[in-house]
Amino acid sequence: MGRYEDYNEMLYEAYCKAAIDNAILKARQKKVAHGQRVSPLSDLSDADLFSLADEWEPELPDEPFTYYIREQAIQIKDQKLGQALSSLLPKDREIILLYYFLGLRDEAVAKRLNMSRATVQRRREKAQKKLKTILEENP
């Protein structure tokens, strides 16, 4: 084979490699875009799950809200606070309940939930802000 054929073969291989790389990149971008539109049900809060069932109207219980953390029951007697807590993600709600209702510090909560102390602190502060916003919107 001459130099011209070698050069053409090399260009063709580079073109094929670029086409394959572009196809892979496009497939990854499509997968990421789809993942951003779809979230698993486990990532939704109780309030979000209730809103998915449009014909079902949740009735507010007259008795206190009861949340279970590691088979330990925590009752919330305040109706507004119970509703606000149900709008949090389950892990965030566990952190808030353990911290404020059982009086555990971030280190103890982290140990109990198998998280780092910094993660517990960050999620607790974020959940506090969300609770404050919800409670201020619905006086």
Domain boundaries, the chain: 1-38, 45-137
Helix (H, G, I), strand (E, B) or coil at 61: coil
pLDDT of residue 129: 93
Q: Which one is predicted more confidently, 80 or 1?
A: 80
Count H helices, E strands: the chain?
6, 2
Nearest Cα to Cα of residue 123 among 94, 83, 101, 80: 94
Give the span between the Cα atoms of 127 and 130, in whole angstroms. 5
**Please, are residues 62 and 92 in contact by the beta-carbon 8 Å criterion?**
no
CATH of domain 45-137: 1.10.10.10
Span 123-127, average pLDDT? 92
- What pLDDT, in 10s, does the model give residues 47-92? 777 676 655 555 555 567 788 877 788 888 888 888 888 888 888 9
Structure tokens at 29: 């971008």
User: For residues 70 and 102, is the Cβ–Cβ distance under 8 A?
Assistant: no
Q: By CB neighbour count within 10 A (0-12 exposed, 13-18 middle, 19+ buried), where does 85 fall?
A: buried
